[in-house]
Amino acid sequence: MLRALARAATLGPGVPWVRWSGSQAVVSAQVVDLRSDTVTRPGPAMSRAMAEAVVGDDDYGEDPTVRELQEKTAELLGVERTLFVPTNTMANLISVMVHCRRRGSQLLLGQECHIQVYEQGGVAQLAGVLSHPLPDLPHGMLDLTELEKVLARGHGSPYHPVCELVCLENTHNSSGGRVLPMDYLHQVHLLAKTYGARIHLDGARLMNAAVALRVPPARIVEHCDSVSLCFSKGLGAPVGAVVGGPKDFIEEAWRFRKALGGGMHQSGVLAAAALLGLADAEEALLQDHGNAQRFAKGLQELASPFCFVDPATVETNMVLVRVSGLSPSELCQRLQAVSPDEVAQIGHAVRVLLFPWTEQSVRAVWHRGISTHDTDLALRKWELVLRQLEP
Ligand SMILES: *Cc1c(COP(=O)(O)O)cnc(C)c1O
């Protein structure tokens, strides 16, 4: 038995790791980390690319790997230039700073979007911009009638703040990775034009949207004046994002990056990881989307009274599961704990890591660290936990 476990320890992924404690083997659990697509760690190829990156001082425009990344992403996004920045948060803030030069100007955005909820109000504390949050519709879109009302009110009126910018998010995180439809982007574009506002696209997961819509990312960006793209989500790099737009926009962005302390030197080490993440983005993201869909369908088939999921709403790498009969945090705790009979029932000890998302839901996110096998393990663990809840 012990020898069999020791042998198992040398096998590939999916096999529990074995630790020796005195004469007893302790089987550690297989961890399936579905908390976020930011949890990936660089694999051997990415680590090697980082170690071997050709670098120079990017402050002087002399880092060839950063330049390569900026050129490639400008082409990919269909913009004149891009600028490599440490985080997508900084990419968003810089964009707001460039677009909204007048202090007290107004930024329209969804009330649950990342800029509004997760970025420490940087647009207020550092850009002096007034956010005007609008309600999000279930698909992650804004109500266009509402949007037009606010845009029209500020337009040419000395009594209202000037609406300089509309921020959109694609894919839309808080709605569970929903993809903004192309005709919606087109309509927002027309409205913004009519009222003299610009559009910034928070495209942290733009590649997920492009893959889901089967269009080149540039087609999505066409409707926007600036865009961000994050490398440390589904693209699997440890750090980094780009902000993209016209040449004069990026020249101003360069100054703000400097002001915010985001100017870097031999940052080719980081750009090398981003380039590698981009190289197989389509394949990797399709796999994530497929696994998320597989999980959603599997969970739906369990037909549990405690969990509800609609696979039709799973468009990319996220699954929002509505929870009833117990709190989302209790469900998360149960999925994370290993029960004594688990190895016998699932064949593995499995810990599924998740975050409670709202008061009635949990969110699961797929990424490069989660294989189809891991997805099935998570599903089996989920089934076990749900069965244990039944009277
Ligand atoms: C993660 C995320 C960001 C911020 O990215 P960081 O690189 O972590 O700063 C911005 N917008 C959206 C939609 C995100 O999901």
Q: Whose alpha carbon is nearest atom 1 of ligand 1?
A: 204
Give the Å distances, CA to CA, from 167 to 64, 76, 203, 325, 373.
32, 21, 10, 37, 38
For residue 27, the model assigns a pLDDT of 57
Q: 154 and 160 in contact (C-beta within 8 Å)?
A: yes
Architecture per CATH, 2-33+282-389:
Alpha-Beta Complex (3.90)
44-279, which class in CATH?
alpha beta
Q: What's the 243 CA to ligand 1 centre distance in angstroms?
A: 12
Q: What's the 12 CA to ligand 1 centre distance in angstroms?
A: 32
* Ligand 1, pocket residues at CB < 6 Å: 87-89, 114, 169, 173, 202, 204, 230, 232-233, 241
The span from the CA of 255 to the CA of 94, in Å, is 9
Would you kindly state where each structural domain of the chain is located, as residue ranges? 2-33+282-389, 44-279
Q: How many helices, marked H, and strands, marked E, lie in the chain?
A: 16, 15
pLDDT band of 79, cuts 50, 70, 90:
very high
Mutate to test the pocket of ligand 1, among 114, 172, 242 (most ligand atoms within 8 A of CB): 114
Q: What's the 16 CA to ligand 1 centre distance in angstroms?
A: 32
319-377 pLDDT, tens digit per residue, is 999 999 999 999 999 999 998 888 888 888 999 999 999 999 999 999 999 999 999 99
Q: What's the 174 CA to ligand 1 centre distance in angstroms?
A: 12
Q: What's the 387 CA to ligand 1 centre distance in angstroms?
A: 36
Asked whether residue 50 carries a pLDDT value surpassing 80, the answer given is: yes
Minimum-distance ligand 1 atom for the alpha carbon of 240: 7
Helical (H) or strand (E) element with 166: strand 163-169
Q: 353 and 370 in contact (C-beta within 8 Å)?
A: no
